[in-house]
Amino acid sequence: MASEAKLSHTTAIILQAIHAGFIYGFSIMEMTGLPSGTVYPAMRRLERDRMIRSHWERQSIADAEQRPPRKYYKLTSEGKSTLDASRRRYPLLERIIPSPEVKSV
Amino acid sequence: MRLSDSGFAWVHRELVTCASWLAPAPQRKEWKKEWLSELWHVVQARIPAGYGSWKAQEEITRFCLGAFHDALCLRTMSWRDQKPFARWSGSPQQCLLLLCAALAIAYGISLLLPGVRAESRPSNFQVKPGLVLIQDARSRDDSVATIPIRQFLGWRERRQEYFDGLAFYRIAEEAASTSTGDRTTLNVAHASSNLFALLGLAVRYEEPGVKAGASERAVILSDRIWKTQFGENPHIAGSVIELGGRTARVAGIVPFGSWRLPGKIDLWLLEPDSEIPSGGPGYVLAHLSRRGQSEVWSRRIHITEYTGDYAADDLWGVSIDERTRGPWDIFLFTMLLALLCLPAVASVSMSESSFSSHRPTWSKRIRQWAFLCVKISLLFPIAYFSSLDLAYWHMPLYSAASQYMQLISSFTICLFGMRWVMLDQRQRCPVCLKRVTHPASVGLASRTFLAWNGTEMICTDGHTMLHVPALPTSWFSTQRWLYLDTSWKFLFVAQGIEGGA
């Protein structure tokens, strides 16, 4: 079902950004140029639809770097399937934000 | 850090805090933590040196404003996912709100109905105490005229021991023309000149100078005729109209809804008794003297009139208080009647529930009783106003039909309303006062004497379970509440959006 889900262009970009390693809200904003009022709500919906999941950074790591802990996002298997379908729908997606495997080639 | 930067930092933090109040309560803490963490990183990225330009502060502010959109989005998702009305459904707040809404609707409608508005001013239709309507005993219907003017005049001529005032009126259709020359046919009551004084009814725009028996007769208009034929002219008193070929001067207007005696009358022509034209029978009103009042105990008195030839006429004297009884008296009567009938339609005992493990605390019991009292105190005004609405929906004026309608509707609403109140209360969880739901049939009716057979319902918040026996037996006669312990909790975890923690 997830692979058949049709995402909007913006949501597909956010999903692609997370896949590309931009795993927290601000970095996705920086990468995509989208405002906070678009990025965070989109991530809430993606998480609700189980395409991404979130986890908090360990407090010890944040303390060592003298900053507050961050909430990181990661694609689920459903999210990956949906992203593959979205790439076929939006062929330029990978050109805007190259995937890690593409970058390494 | 400059003062302006610290001011901006405070503003940014407060913006996120304000936005956090839009987020659903279960996710608020984590949501705020994420946004404050992101804000810290945004500030570090935009103002690396500890102080920033206006442009940087503007960018950070714009970032913080996005928090409102995010919080609203989370709230919307929470509403959709959690079905907020599912929590609201069956709650005591919902019950009271619905009752308040019903009361507001019933009261609102009553304000729009002219009949109800007239009923709400009892001073308009209150007559002197001790008045009776005298009728021939052969007539069972007190709205039928039975006394001829000749008989009335005979009573007037004789000294009365039991009555200190008598008045007569007879209704006839007559042609009338107003001062503007319009001709119309009206129901005219030829009445004794002391009729309104005897009744003690107030007359609007009264013209004190106009007296019956003068060269021009006095006429009192009904509110309806004043409005339809005379355009609600406030200076109508003193005007001359023509009635049956003779002139009469308007002496006042009877307020809307004041006339509660038999007969639909457009105007009252006040004349000396000797000048009232003979014709069909009329109505006789009498005021009981002090002696008469002391000897009368019931609202319907039997009167025997001995005529000269040793014959006797049987008459009834019906108290007019009954006719002028306001809606409040009718409502109190029906409410009492409904309370007396209640045990026939519902169990009135609230202590039938037995608690398997522990009893509810005093505060919870007080809350239960308070909820019951509030429900009852809302039900009765609903019954009062809605019965008035039904009674006067098609009847703009007081009539016997409207009284019967109020009587029946008020009794029905009070009785079945109280039944609903009792049944509803018995199915409310003693802990949270929510209605127990999800009824499940347990057991088989054919095995009633071998095993338990009935219905089980559960509190959606997971506090209690209610067992209601299908057939009361000596070992399971009443409904039972079962308190659910912590082992049941996993069934009732609130479904929210997972925080991902």
What are the domain boundaries of chain B?
Answer: 3-82, 106-118+325-426, 128-323, 437-492
Instruction: Indicate if the pLDDT at residue B263 is higher than 70.
Output: yes
Please give the model's pTM, rounded to 2 decimal places: 0.55
Confidence bin at B416 (pLDDT 50/70/90):
very high
Task: Report the residue of chain A nearest B73, measured CA to CA.
Answer: A41
Taking the CA of residue A66 and the nearest CA in chain B, the distance in Å comes to: 11
Lookup: tokens for A26: 């601000």
Q: Quick one: which of B166, B162, B173, B130 has its CA closest to B151?
A: B166
> Smallest CA–CA separation between B487 and chain A, in Å?
28
Cα B58 to Cα B75: distance, rounded to the nearest angstrom = 26
Chain A residues lying within 8 Å of B498, measured CB to CB: 47
> Which residues share a beta bridge with B200?
none
CB–CB contacts below 8 A, A to B? 74
- pLDDT band of residue B455 (cuts 50, 70, 90) is confident
Give the pLDDT confidence score for residue A2 in this predicted structure: 42
B37 contact A CB<8A: yes
Question: Mean pLDDT, to the nearest integer, of B458-473?
Answer: 82
* Cα distance between residue A14 and residue A36, in whole Å: 12
Pick from A55, A86, A13, A71: which is nearest to B35 by CA? Answer: A71
Q: What is the mean pLDDT of chain B?
A: 82
pLDDT single digits (tens) B200-243 = 887 776 665 555 445 568 889 888 888 888 888 888 888 888 87
**Under a CB-based contact definition with an 8 Å cutoff, are residues B243 and B269 in contact?**
yes
Q: Which amino acid is at B16?
A: V
Cβ pair B247, B131 in contact under 8 A = no
How far apart are the CA of B66 and the nearest CA of chain A, in angstroms? Answer: 4
Query: Using CA atoms, how far apart are residues B465 and B467, in angstroms rounded to an integer?
Result: 7
Q: How confident is the model at residue B501 (pLDDT cuts 50, 70, 90)?
A: very low
Q: Give the E-state strand segments of B354-396 in sequence order.
A: 354-355
Q: How confident is the model at residue B334 (pLDDT cuts 50, 70, 90)?
A: very high
Instruction: Write the CA distances from B123 to B207, B329, B380, B447, integer angstroms.
Output: 20, 14, 24, 65
Residue B41 contacts A, CB cutoff 8 Å: yes
| Alpha carbons A24 and A5: distance in angstroms, whole number | 23
Interchain CB contact of B59 with A (< 8 Å): no
**From the candidates B15, B63, B68, which should be mutated to test the interface with A, based on the most A CB atoms within 10 A?**
B63
Domains of chain A: 2-95 (1.10.10.10)
Residue A67 to residue B67, Cβ atoms within 8 A: no
Report yes or no: B440 at the A interface, CB cutoff 8 Å.
Answer: no
pLDDT band at B465 (very low <50, low <70, confident <90, very high): confident
CA-nearest residue of chain A to B80? A48
Q: In what order do the strands lie in the sheet with B354-355?
A: B354-355, B480-483, B464-469, B454-458, B437-442
Q: What is the pLDDT of residues B349-360, one digit of tens each?
A: 765 566 656 677
Q: Is B13 on the interface with A (CB under 8 A)?
A: no
pLDDT digits (tens, 9 = 90+) for B31-87: 999 999 999 999 988 887 655 678 888 889 999 999 999 999 998 888 776 665 666
| ipTM metric | 0.91
> Of A47-56, B138-147, B339-348, where does mean pLDDT reach its minimum?
B138-147
pLDDT of B479: 84
